[in-house]
Amino acid sequence: FKQINDTLGHAAGDAMLVHVSQVLKQTLNAGDFAARIGGDEFVVAASTDVSEAGLAKLAERIITQMRQPTTFEGHECRCGVSIGIASEAGIAVDPAQLLVNADIALYRAKNRGRNRFEFFTEALQAEVIRTKQVADAILKGLERAEFLPYYQPLFDAHTLEIVGVEALARWRHPTLG
């Protein structure tokens, strides 16, 4: 909603919130629950047909309806939507962990483009953990001066004059070499 707020004002952003609430109200099944958890983020707790296929259909319906324009003071407003889906069967459902898992899936959906949904998977969680571990290791490597610069001159092929330099960083990892 930031772009709408910035260009048309907060009243337009409020109109988009009304649009979202109407879409969710029309799209969700009886017994489902929706709440705004901040800014332009919402959470939906689906109580019916929580199979992967059922959740995918629900996400597709929400995306289709959210793509429909809404008019505010003569301006046609549209917004994209990204959806992260996490589900857990059984009676030992940890709602806080479900939200974390849905958030991980949401960021994957956002990274892959608007108007899509992604499911949380164990593989996705492992990828996120691995990325975090590598990022932490890079920061530690920078603190420990494990990165060494190597400079290569760039030559003009016709004159053989140096026209620039390329800097490469090599990481001397303490365990991986």
Q: How far apart are CA 16 and CA 37, in angstroms?
A: 15
Q: Which residues pair with 167 in a beta bridge?
A: 151
Rounded Cα distance between 26 and 46, Å, is 14
Q: DSSP for 107-140, please give it.
A: HHHHHT-SSEEEE--HHHHHHHHHHHHHHHHHHH
Centre a 10 Å sphere on the Cβ of residue 138 and count the other Cβ atoms it contains: 14
Contact at 8 Å (CB) between 107 and 84?
Answer: yes
CB 54 within 8 A of CB 44: no
Catalytically active residues, by annotation: 40
Q: Which residues pair with 45 in a beta bridge?
A: 33
Quick one: which of 36, 43, 44 has its CA closest to 13?
36
